[in-house]
Structures are given as C-alpha cells and as structure tokens.
Amino acid sequence: MMVLALESAGASAGVALAGDEGVLAEATVHTSRRHVELLHPLVAEVLVLAGASVGDLDAVAADVGPGLFTGIRVGVSAAKAIAMARAIPAVGVTSLRAIEAAARDAGASGAVVPVVDLRRGEVAWSLSGEIAFGPAGRLAEQLRTAGEAGVLAGDGALRYADVLAGEGWEVAGRSLSSAPVASVAVLAHAAASKGATLDPARLVPCYLREADARINWTTRHDGSRKGG
C-alpha cells in the first residue's frame, strides 16, 4: 500500500510518500506562503526520489486542518483531484492529530496537547481526543483543571506560550510548529490500511470557524473582484 500525503495547512508545504515499511520519501519547504506554487513540484520530486509514479499510488491524503483556510483548500483540492483522476480513495488527517503524533515520535511522554493558531486571537486544540477552539485563555483554564502535565505543540502553543505554559506544561520547539508531512503520511497509511478512506468528493476541510461573511465594500471593490 502506497499513500501520498500533502501538507499545506500551516507554515510549511510538504509532500511525503508512505509505504508499508514507513516513509519512503519526503520533502518540505518552510513557508506559510506559496503553497500552490510549491505543492505540485514537491509531489513530482518525492515520486522521483522514491522511484515511484502516480500510477503506483493506492490513496492520497491531505492535512484537512484546522489551520490556514487558503492553504488547507490548496491541499484538499489537490488531494481530491489526484485521487479522483487515479480512481483511488482519499484520506483526511487533521493537523492536530499529525502534530500530536509527531510530538510522540519526538519522545514526548505524558499528555500531548496539539494547539494550532487560528488567528484573530483564537486557537484550536485537542484535549483527551476532543477538538475544540476558542481564545487561548480558555485552553489555559482547561489545562489547569485537567490536573495533568505534558507537552503543548504547534504554532498556537508557541504564539500563546506566555498564557499556556507553566504548572507542568511545556511548549515544544519550532520543529513542531506545523504538522510534519511524514506524520500525516504515516497516519494516513495506517488509516488506509484499515480501509478508513473516503470517496474523493467527500474529503472536506476542517475549518472549525464559520466563514466571515461581513461585507466590506471598500476593500472588496479595490479591483480584486471581478464577475461575469
């Protein structure tokens, strides 16, 4: 079973190929911009590095978020389209699960709480397997009442370290600021091996927050809009 994984939900663009023996090849560029420019050349490169072709793929996975809306859509649209075009299934992996898995791989013992920056003063986190989002202060309260201690990982943890760290909770370093694509690939491979896959049309982003539909005519009419 060979699974291609795409990562573009945070401050990196990454592609990895996982086989039954683990990750076969991976490539990551650390940037929060230019996901659409980087992702496809990285797919081509990773396939070449692993000596594989698109015809060898059994499933395609994407980090579905939570994270940067635009980046998530680039990855999800790409994964869906590749899966559709090759008549293979898709797999969705949340950024939170991938960050948590990466923190465990890095040797974290005890509790691991992935925390992703949602901007506008909010973060998303996963505590005891439940995904939630809100101001970092709310997570801080939950951490205090949880009575545990452990590691906080992700760009949200780094950004709000002053609010979140302390009382036994430590913030992981920059290497875990976004989901490492190898973790996305390994989780996706495990899911696909169990048959936990989706029809490509059903791979959807995990936004958590509703779209902000407030209209701002002055900014919307700056020439960026077109129609007809």
Partner 1 sequence: MSAPPAAPRRVLAIETSCDETAASVVDDGRTVVSSVVSSQIDLHARYGGVVPELASRAHTELIVPVVTEALAGAGLGPDGRGKRPVDAVAATVGPGLVGALLVGISAAKSLAMAWEVPFVGVNHLEGHLYASLLEEPDLELPVVVLLVSGGHTLLVRMDAPGRYEVLGRTRDDAAGEAFDKVARFLGLGYPGGPAIDRTAVAGDPSSVRFPRALLEGSLDFSFSGLKTAVVNYVDSHPEVATEDVAASFQDAVVDVLVRKTLEAAARSRAKGICLAGGVAANSELRRRAAEAALGAGLGIFLPSRAMCTDNAAMIASAGYFRLVAGRTTAMDAGAEPGLGFAEPGSTRRA
- State which of residues 1, 81, 132, 149 lies at the interface with partner 1 (CB under 8 A): 81
Q: Which residue, 79 or 185, is less far from partner 1 as judged by CB?
A: 79
Nearest to 121 by CA among 109, 136, 110: 136
CB of 172 to partner 1, least distance (A): 30
Establish if 109 lies at the interface with partner 1 (CB under 8 A). Answer: no
Strands 13-19 and 90-94: unpaired
- State which of residues 16, 46, 73, 89 lies at the interface with partner 1 (CB under 8 A): 73
d(CA 147, CA 94): 26
Q: Which residue, 66 or 200, is less far from partner 1 as judged by CB?
A: 200
Would you report the helix, strand and coil content of the chain in percent, each value rounded to 5? 40, 25, 35
d(CA 79, CA 148): 37
Place of tokens 């683990």: 22
- State which of residues 28, 77, 142, 193 lies at the interface with partner 1 (CB under 8 A): 77
In DSSP terms, which residues pair with 62 in a beta bridge?
6, 92
Q: Which stretch binds partner 1 (CB under 8 A): 77-85, 103-111, 132-140, 141-149?
A: 77-85
The tokens for 146 are 């949880």
Establish if 124 lies at the interface with partner 1 (CB under 8 A). Answer: no
Residue 113 parent element (H or E)? strand 111-119
- State which of residues 103, 180, 200, 206 lies at the interface with partner 1 (CB under 8 A): 200
Establish if 144 lies at the interface with partner 1 (CB under 8 A). Answer: no
Establish if 175 lies at the interface with partner 1 (CB under 8 A). Answer: no
| DSSP per residue, 114-171 | EEEEEETTEEEEEETTEEEEEEHHHHHHHHHHH---EEEESHHHHHTHHHH-BTTEEE
Q: Which stretch binds partner 1 (CB under 8 A): 19-27, 80-88, 99-107, 187-195?
A: 80-88
Q: Which residue, 58 or 69, is less far from partner 1 as judged by CB?
A: 69
Binding residues vs partner 1 (CB under 8 A): 34, 36-41, 43-44, 54, 69-70, 73-82, 84-87, 200-201, 204-205, 207, 211-213, 215, 217, 220-221, 223-228
